[in-house]
């Protein structure tokens, strides 16, 4: 499933994050996050849009949270957080904050 992350093929939603476009698959992210279910399948305006703007989030942080949703590989995510945090002390906090905001468990 992880290899599907970022692939345009079969994607049905795109996120614009910090000037980057990240394609995703509603079935994957909604099945693993109630936040995305509400956003993309509920009565919010985003449910009718194919392109969703994500504000105030760095692309690398958003991408890592999506990586966890696609893979459920906490060890890989934690390794990335540890490595990046050596040069970017804010990175871990940003990832955990976003994971909480998106109602993701186990991160």
pLDDT tens-digit series, residues 22-34: 999 999 999 999 9
Q: Which of 32, 1, 36, 43 is nearest to 15 (CA)?
A: 36
pLDDT above 60 for 52: yes
The C-alpha angle 48, 34, 9, rounded to 5 degrees, equals 55
- This prediction's pTM: 0.85
* Contact call for residues 17 and 59 (beta carbons, < 8 A): yes
- The answer to whether 2 and 67 are in contact (CB under 8 A) is yes
Residue 64: pLDDT band with limits 50, 70, 90: very high
Length of the chain: 107
Question: Virtual CA dihedral for 87, 92, 95, 97, nearest 10 degrees?
Answer: -130
Instruction: Name the pairing type of β-strands 20-24 and 13-17.
Output: antiparallel
């Amino acid at each position: 499933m992880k290899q599907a992350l970022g692939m345009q093929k079969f994607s049905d939603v795109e996120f614009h994050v910090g000037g980057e476009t990240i394609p995703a698959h509603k079935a994957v992210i909604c099945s693993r996050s109630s936040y995305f279910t509400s956003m993309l399948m509920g009565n919010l305006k985003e449910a009718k849009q194919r392109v969703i703007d994500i504000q105030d989030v760095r692309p690398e942080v958003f991408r890592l949270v999506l990586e966890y949703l696609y893979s459920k590989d906490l060890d890989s995510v934690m390794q990335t957080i540890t490595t990046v945090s050596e040069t970017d002390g804010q990175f871990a906090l940003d990832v955990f904050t976003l994971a909480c905001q998106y109602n993701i468990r186990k991160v």
